[in-house]
Amino acid sequence: MHRRFATGLAASTMALAAITATAGTATAAPADKPQILSSWTQTSASSYSLWTAARSNQAAWSAYSFDWSTDYCSSSPDNPFGFPFSTSCARHDFGYRNYKAAGSFDANKSRLDSALYEDLKRVCNGYSGATKTACTSTAWTYYQAVKALG
């Protein structure tokens, strides 16, 4: 009886250890999370495209526990004068929230703000003439606001 109890106890202990190890691994973010976050928050159009693709398929990135929440352009209009700035603002929020969570916001804030400005200018490139000038001026104003207040 003792032997059967000891064998059962040992098997239960090993199973519990395996479950605990698996649970710990499942909740830990993948080691490449900082690299993925960096690749999605650069100033380039390709970085923006990678982020928008990931944002459309957030479930595929669930192991990384990224914060996808956004208030878009905060207290500023999301689409000022009809210019669609909301997705650019959402990416900016993504960078701010995730770098704050990682404890490396201060080291990345300037680049995140510059990425917002580049994203907004890409929106403006879809216009011409006075409309493009108005859009670019609005983008500059948004950039200055986040640079100073963000």
Active site residues: 92
Please provide the DSSP assignment of the chain as one string.
-HHHHHHHHHHHHHHHHHHHHHHHHHHSPPTTHHHHHHHTSSSSHHHHHHHHHHHHTGGGGGGGT------TTTTS-SSGGG---HHHHHHHHHHHHHHHHHT-HHHHHHHHHHHHHHHHHHHHTT--HHHHHHHHHHHHHHHHHHHHH-
